[in-house]
């Protein structure tokens, strides 16, 4: 009864509420051109010949796609990258997340931002869209997972993952410009107090982040790649990392891998959504891949364009890659493993905001995630911040409410709001929400998985193994309440979590996992797709265990390892 009620009633209502709120913001926002141009991209309107051929076509421009592009072009291959989002320059980003046209990706409402919110039965998913993928919207944080990650999941025992990946972790850290955060601010200091109160002060550390910490407001020649990269400017600690760094300090992929790859000849088409991949034969019997794509910004389905290649790399993340593979499995790519869509992990995450009544705090100051605390052997906690004025999330917040089913939670929520209405109204109407709030990101190594499959309206999910992902983790609740006590605040969760009981994750992983054979995985130890030649998956969907920390560095290192196995092209230069 509860599952039926959630699926048939709550999810549609939530979608309606979100769309109404987003639509209402259009009325009050200034009219602007939402299709952004850049001298760095090939316009989608360009006529790509139906038989134009490449050595590799990369679908998606996130961490896996960007690494693949650079390493392949360095080996002499002709490479094309397709990205359904657009290019973003420093001046294009919204000043706050109230500018929903520029922030959110909801094409049906003509919102072409870089931040996407997706709901399926078992989880709400936050992801990035645009040239640079998740790097545009992520919190710059580059931790390494603990040893358990390398020895669990479908890839366990296939090879010595930790040692084989070690040199590639080092390369990834260098390429992404990793630095230890040099300054801690109010939110970090609060987390340090929590660690000390739990007698775990030694488990609190500043984060390793992809940020250039030079002189603020001073532009300098490329400090990372011997002058071959773009000019950079020092971090101002404004907290706006996740709404797009406006100051050229964040080391998103367009500042490193993609920048270098394009200068070496990689072609990038933005606003291009891949809709089909199929393997065909030439007259002489040799095989090639044909990729069909359309204009993702078109009001109605645009003209289909086709390109060919001898190799394919899927790098669209779980929502892009898994969706496309599931769509192709029935007719175009029939030899794909039956494991496609299986073993998807939420990184066992919980997101809880704590809003302080104390006006002396300034929680928006710093990098997006400036510190990390290992609360036990399986768990991590990070304080997340948005810049001044980015207060959109308060519309989605409700009092922290736990309960076994919807009716219990709804009742508790109603009691919260009735017994202290003024204190909650102050939160919803405050203009300084981002400055008074800490978003606590709680992550665990503990494992549970779901399976994605094709549904009537897109992806749907069902439980695979382990307990169902839950928005309610007692450890996360206890930590949030400790933070609330320290800052004299109130803990909040997303309304979607309180009403449905499903968690929200910014790190959806798996669905195209590594296995010993086609029966246990979609790809092999070199991330090659079982059943197909010269086809790879290099993105978060290839993550084959639960890292329990932010996964960007691991995706980058795994792709570096996979690309190192591809030989130089003969007569490629």
User: From CA 160, how far away is CA 162, in angstroms rounded?
Assistant: 6
State the 10-residue block means of pLDDT for the chain, 573 residues long.
Answer: 45 43 36 32 46 90 98 98 95 94 94 94 93 96 95 96 98 97 98 97 97 96 96 97 95 98 97 96 92 91 89 97 95 96 91 94 97 94 96 91 82 85 84 94 85 83 78 90 96 90 92 97 98 97 95 98 96 59
Quick one: pLDDT at residue 36? 32
**69 contacts 83 by C-beta, under 8 angstroms:** no
Structure token pair of residue 466:
């382990």
Quick one: pLDDT at residue 445? 81
Q: What is the pLDDT of residues 378-425, one digit of tens each?
A: 899 999 999 999 999 999 999 988 877 888 888 888 888 888 888 888
Q: What is the pLDDT of residues 543-570, one digit of tens each?
A: 999 999 999 999 999 999 999 999 999 8
Cα pseudo-dihedral 451, 146, 235, 186, rounded to 10: 100
Quick one: pLDDT at residue 408? 85
Quick one: pLDDT at residue 499? 86
Quick one: pLDDT at residue 424? 83
Quick one: pLDDT at residue 401? 86
Q: Which of 41, 122, 416, 507 is catalytic?
A: 507
Which residue bears the tokens 């990392």? 241
507 catalytic, yes or no?
A: yes
Task: Specify the CATH number for 2-564; select among 3.50.50.60, 3.30.930.10, 3.30.460.80, 3.30.365.10.
Answer: 3.50.50.60
* Residue 155, phi then psi, degrees to nearest 5: -95, 0
Q: Name the region of 464 (left: φ>0; alpha: ψ -120 to 50; beta: rest).
A: alpha
**211 contacts 54 by C-beta, under 8 angstroms:** no
**Strands of 34-145, DSSP E:** 53-59, 79-82, 105-106, 111-112, 115-120, 123-128
């Amino acid at each position: 009864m509860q599952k039926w009620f959630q699926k048939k009633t709550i999810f549609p209502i939530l979608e309606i509420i979100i769309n109404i709120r987003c639509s209402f913001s259009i009325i009050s926002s200034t009219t602007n051109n939402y299709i952004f141009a850049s001298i760095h991209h090939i316009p989608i309107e360009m006529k790509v010949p139906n038989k134009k051929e490449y050595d590799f076509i990369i679908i998606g421009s996130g961490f896996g796609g960007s690494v693949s592009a650079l390493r392949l072009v360095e080996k002499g291959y002709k490479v094309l990258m397709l990205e359904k989002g657009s290019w973003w320059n420093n001046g294009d980003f919204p000043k706050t997340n109230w500018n929903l046209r520029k922030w959110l990706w909801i094409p049906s409402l003509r919102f072409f931002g870089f931040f996407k919110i997706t709901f399926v039965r078992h989880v709400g998913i936050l992801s990035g869209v645009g040239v640079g993928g998740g790097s545009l919207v992520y919190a710059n944080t580059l931790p390494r997972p603990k040893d358990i990650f390398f020895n669990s999941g479908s890839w366990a025992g296939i090879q010595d993952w930790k040692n084989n990946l070690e040199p590639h972790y080092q390369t990834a850290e260098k390429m992404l410009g990793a630095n230890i955060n040099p300054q801690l601010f109010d939110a970090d200091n609060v987390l340090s107090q929590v660690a000390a109160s739990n007698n775990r002060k030694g488990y609190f550390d500043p984060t390793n982040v992809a940020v250039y910490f030079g002189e603020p407001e001073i532009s300098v020649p490329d400090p990372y790649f011997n002058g071959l990269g773009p000019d950079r400017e020092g971090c101002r600690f404004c907290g706006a990392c996740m709404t797009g760094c406006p100051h050229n300090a964040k080391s998103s992929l367009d500042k490193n891998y993609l920048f270098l790859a394009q200068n070496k000849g990689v072609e990038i088409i933005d606003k291009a959504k891949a809709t089909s991949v199929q393997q065909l034969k030439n007259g002489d019997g040799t095989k090639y891949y044909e990729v069909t794509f359309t204009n993702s910004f078109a009001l109605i389905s645009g003209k289909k364009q086709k390109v060919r290649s001898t190799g394919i790399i899927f790098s669209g993340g779980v929502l892009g890659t898994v969706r496309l593979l599931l769509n192709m499995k029935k007719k175009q790519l029939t030899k794909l493993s039956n494991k496609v869509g299986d073993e998807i992990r939420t990184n066992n995450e919980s997101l809880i905001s704590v809003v302080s009544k104390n006006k002396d705090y300034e929680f928006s100051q710093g990098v997006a995630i400036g510190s990390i605390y290992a609360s036990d052997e399986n768990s991590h906690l990070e304080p997340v911040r948005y810049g001044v004025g980015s207060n959109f999330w308060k519309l989605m917040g409700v009092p922290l409410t736990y309960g076994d089913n919807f009716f219990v939670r709804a009742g508790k929520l109603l009691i919260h709001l009735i017994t202290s209405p003024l204190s909650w109204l102050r939160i919803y109407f405050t203009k300084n929400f981002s400055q008074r709030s800490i978003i606590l990101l709680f992550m665990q190594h503990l494992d549970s998985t779901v399976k994605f499959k094709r549904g009537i309206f897109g992806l749907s999910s069902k439980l695979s193994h382990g307990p169902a992902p839950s928005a309610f983790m007692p450890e996360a609740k206890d930590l949030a309440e400790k933070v609330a006590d320290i800052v004299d605040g109130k803990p909040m969760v997303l309304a979607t979590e309180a009403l449905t009981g499903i968690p929200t994750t910014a790190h959806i992983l798996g669905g195209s996992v590594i296995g010993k054979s086609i029966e246990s995985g979609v790809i092999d130890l070199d991330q090659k797709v079982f059943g197909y030649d010269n086809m790879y998956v290099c993105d978060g969907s290839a993550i084959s265990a639960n890292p329990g920390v932010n996964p960007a560095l691991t995706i980058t290192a795994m792709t570096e390892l996979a690309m190192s196995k591809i030989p130089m092209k003969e007569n490629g230069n």
